[in-house]
Structure 1
């Protein structure tokens, strides 16, 4: 198993679960010391690789390591989990922020998949991408994150349709609020972005951003434990017939079904009401 973004949240819990089940795991992290506590317990099956998914050299070095250590008679499974979140008004977001989010959430995923796909094909393995329910409905003031997650869904669909006839299974985990560190990191990052915005933009968007902040904190409180996501990923790993899409989280399946019957204008009205938008 190759797991990116294994240092915290879903990636860490999944890595620990895989090791407990006896799998050999190549855990990819930017800071190897973040997994020192797991290495103590699983030294015989945990391989820690220092890797930044935005760094081509790191990815190529990881390929060499996995090639040398893998069992060619067992399917190789790649779990693309690394991701970041940030937000703010589109008018106030620097292009650098958009590129940073896309580099991690999308282009890093694409390059990891492209690099390891020959080995995955040879072993008739699997690719599991960690997406989000935000890849189905675009939230305001989370433009870079939601746009990247829409792209992740499209990339996963394209990949699945290309390689399914080759014996490679591809699944997408569409997660709702999961109890991980991404929430506090996202709020802190968005706060910094707003602080750097010109005073005029803070006046225009500040009230709505405050409501978004409250909504994010509320969602964090209602988030399901991380092991809920891990169980879904384990099914995608171990099932003879893994699902194409896994909707994970509290009321996420209900929300996804409701979206099918709502027009775009209806969705806009619901979101506008939640932000107390009023027509002038």
Structure 2
């Protein structure tokens, strides 16, 4: 019996992963900030255990680790899914916003992983980190998010090499655009940021932000179903020798190849001519 802990389980990819793992018959600890978030699943699946755990709270993380470590767990999988998205011009974003994002996307992931590493070592389990193609390419106006995903990729690489001799496998999932509610949230966040810009910054970046909103809408239309992610994660859980990276989405392998092989100046020119620098659509 596999035992899976999923952070950020109440919505989006986390909710889909929770449901998929339950359908496989796994015991799932779903970490949420509001316990009522998974009531329907809890009523349907007896192997679901809902835990109140904010990944930025050391007390809640340690408490969850203590509870699960006391159970009879032989095959443990940690899925670090919790994350938030934030974007905008670097000049216009204060450090508090940056710190809040890194607390969830990076330090929260580290805090949870550290707390569960004793159990992972004991069970020779697996760590599955939900990253992003943004961890390989730094898009303009998405610096907070992309830099956090670069950090997740670096952490995953180091952790995989540290734990290799201990029998713990570390896998990084790198999705491109996926059909979740993150797109509506991104547009709402962009509009909020735009409203907060000073007149000077509005003049400098207003067209770019409007173009970014249009681009987000276009990207969302071509996003792949969340099942693409859940299927790859289930492979990462079950395969004897999973790949270290799973790239997911339309043209994502091609994009990763371009970022790796093209000269930096060429990549910069592509972004300069791309949708993020077009004038807002009328």
Q: Does TM, scored on the shorter chain, surpass 0.5?
A: yes
Q: State the shift of 1:68 in Å.
A: 2.4
- Write the distance in 1 (CA, Å) between the matches of 2:270 and 2:21: 40
Task: Confirm or deny that 1:3 pairs with 2:10.
Answer: no
C-alpha distance in structure 2 between counterparts of 1:226 and 1:178, whole Å:
6
Q: Partners in 1 of 2:200 and 2:257 — Cα distance?
A: 39
- Structure 1 residue ranges (4+ consecutive) displaced by more than 6 angstroms after TM superposition: none
Distance (Å, rounded) in 2 between the aligned partners of 1:188 and 1:174? 24
Matched, 1:22 2:29: no
Q: Give the secondary-structure state (helix, strand or coil) at the position aligned to 1:172.
A: strand
SS at match of 2:240: coil
Classify the secondary structure of the residue corresponding to 1:258.
helix
Rounded Cα–Cα distance in structure 1 between residues aligned with 2:69 and 2:165: 24
Q: Which runs of 5+ in 2 are unaligned?
A: none
Output the CA distance in 2 between the equivalents of 1:181 and 1:58. 26
Residues 200-252 of structure 1: CA deviation (Å, up to 9, x unaligned): 10110000111111111111111000010000111110110111000011111
Distance (Å, rounded) in 2 between the aligned partners of 1:96 and 1:191: 19
CA distance in 2, matches of 1:259, 1:204: 28
C-alpha distance in structure 2 between counterparts of 1:67 and 1:163, whole Å: 19
Judging changes above 3 Å, is the alpha-carbon distance between structure 1 residues 182 and 277 closer, same or farther for their aligned structure 2 residues? closer
Report the counterpart of residue 159 of structure 2 in structure 1. 159
Aligned length: 275
How far the C-alpha of 1:104 sits from its partner, in A, is 0.5
| TM-score normalised by structure 2 residue count | 0.95
Shift of 1:277: 7.0
Aligned mates of 1:168, 1:140 — CA distance in 2: 36
3-state SS of the aligned residue for 1:242?
coil
Q: CA deviation at 1:186?
A: 1.6
Instruction: Give the whole-Å Cα distance in 2 for the aligned partners of 1:216 and 1:129.
Output: 24
Q: Deviations over 1:47-86 (max 9, x none)?
A: 00001101101101111221223x23x2211000001001
What is the CA–CA distance in structure 2 between the aligned matches of 1:228 and 1:219, rounded to whole Å?
16
| Structure 1 partner of 2:41 | 38
Structure 2 distance, partners of 1:6, 1:191, is 26
SS in 2 for 1:52: coil
Match of 1:253 in 2: 253
Match in the other structure for 1:172 = 172
C-alpha displacement of 1:268: 0.5
Could you tell me whether the CA contact under 8 Å between 1:18 and 1:25 is conserved in 2?
A: yes
